[in-house]
Amino acid sequence: ETANPDGTLVIEALLVDEKKRRLGFGAELSSTEGLGISAYWMHRNLLRGAERFRLESDVSGIGGDTGGIDFRFGGSFRRPATFQRDTTLNLFGDYEVLDEPDFFERKIELTAALERYVSERFQI
């Protein structure tokens, strides 16, 4: 409650690590677009270096009037301190199929990025 002679303050904290794995899901219902369902699975600290791995998928347009059934499947991987302490590696992949009244599209997206923290207010 009182500061030390050097101006510092002693704080005691108990930290509890969250669960390493998470599973989530959801559903939406629309009178025109039909039923949509989504789910994801996430694993934190996958390789014991504070990484985050996530897989997710969603299906929409089930029983809807706006075209066929659309679906998407994707994943991401985030690894902090990749080459040095302030650099984070981000990998992302996504496969999507859109069945719309005017077009049919299949799309694959792959992304790799390095994120560098220069200061608390600036990152590249």
Mean pLDDT per block of 10 residues along the chain (124 residues) reads 85 85 94 92 89 95 85 96 90 94 93 88 69
Q: What is the pLDDT of residue 122?
A: 72
pTM for the structure as a whole: 0.76
Q: What is the pLDDT of residue 19?
A: 84
Beta strands in the chain (DSSP E): 21-30, 34-44, 52-62, 70-79, 87-99, 104-116
Q: What is the pLDDT of residue 123?
A: 65
Q: Where are the alpha helices (DSSP H) in 1-124?
A: none
Cα separation, 42 vs 20, whole angstroms? 8
The order of strands in the sheet holding 87-99 is: 21-30, 34-44, 52-62, 70-79, 87-99, 104-116
Q: What is the pLDDT of residue 25?
A: 96
